[in-house]
Amino acid sequence: MPMMGGHHAISGTAAWMALAGSTSMMGHAAGLDLWDLTPAQVIAGAVVATGAALLPDIDHPSATISRSGSGLTKALTRMVGSLAGHRGATHTLLAIAAFTALAVLVNGLDWQIQVPVLGEVQAGAALLVAVMCAFGTRALKAVKGRLLPWVVGAGSGLLVGVVAPDTSIWLPAAVAVGALAHLVGDLLTTDGIPFPTWPLTVKPPKRLASPFWQRSGDIALPLLGNAGSAREWLLCTVLTGYAAVTTIATIAGAPEVLSL
């Protein structure tokens, strides 16, 4: 059983808030503020990282991401799954580089659309946010049904296109952070992830094979035990608390985010 989609999603949110957030709590900075972003950008990045944390499981037909859409996403995940195998190619640093490169590409599309009331919107960035938001919303069960996550996604995509138009660095960075958080999550379970230099896999000599470096070459640091364990739930509860508090503090500290 793979780690749950909702848990991956929240790990993406928490990782982003830790790296990109800058809110202060009880006199301490809760977040490293790596990219010097405005509060609106931090929140939008959190939305993107949440959805991107589901991307590696695109190889798994029963995962949230494949159930997010219609027959199209199902067919896509079935294809990726049969090509890559589960926890194969899409769970590697190479795949994260590819996801990020794709985000850079979509984000950089020179394509503006005129939206009534909102004005000119960067379509590439809005599209990226919309899709990631739909995945994340669905995984966290924030709204019900199949269609509603996409409605929420489209809305937030347009909103980001307006409130945080400069998406040059942080949008692709949020994709990378989210996808990396997924790999870390799976690394912490007994199943582990492919050897980091994949496709160059180094298999251990027979007598050195262990739960940490498996016969297949997969590596694991199984602090959480099996996927879905009580420890996984506990960690994710803590991460949810951290993500919620830092997000609320970021919004509360920046009234202009609310007033839009």
Which is closer to Zn ion, CB of 57 or CB of 232?
Answer: 57
Which is closer to Zn ion, CB of 57 or CB of 218?
Answer: 57
Q: Which stretch binds Zn ion (CB under 5 A): 28-36, 56-64, 124-132, 212-220?
A: 56-64
Q: Which stretch binds Zn ion (CB under 5 A): 54-62, 93-101, 128-136, 155-163?
A: 54-62
Q: What angle do CA 121, 72, 67 make, to 5 degrees?
A: 90
The helix (run of H) or strand (run of E) holding residue 23 is strand 23-25
- Taking alpha carbons only, the member of 180, 146, 159, 151 closest to residue 117 is 159
57 binds Zn ion (CB under 5 A): yes
232 binds Zn ion (CB under 5 A): no
Site size toward Zn ion (CB under 5 A) is: 3
Q: Which stretch binds Zn ion (CB under 5 A): 21-29, 98-106, 180-188, 197-205?
A: 180-188
Buried b vs exposed e over 19-44: b needs ≥16 C-beta within 10 Å?
A: bbbbbeeeeeebbeeeeebbbbbbbb
Q: What is d(CA 157, CA 195) in angstroms, rounded to the nearest whole number?
A: 35
59 binds Zn ion (CB under 5 A): no
218 binds Zn ion (CB under 5 A): no
- What's the min distance (Å) between Cβ of 87 and Zn ion? 6
CA dihedral 112→113→118→121, nearest 10 degrees, is -30
Q: Which stretch binds Zn ion (CB under 5 A): 55-63, 146-154, 222-230, 237-245?
A: 55-63
186 binds Zn ion (CB under 5 A): yes
Name the phi and psi angles at 24, rounded to 5.
-105, 135
Q: Which residues contact Zn ion by CB under 5 A?
A: 56-57, 186
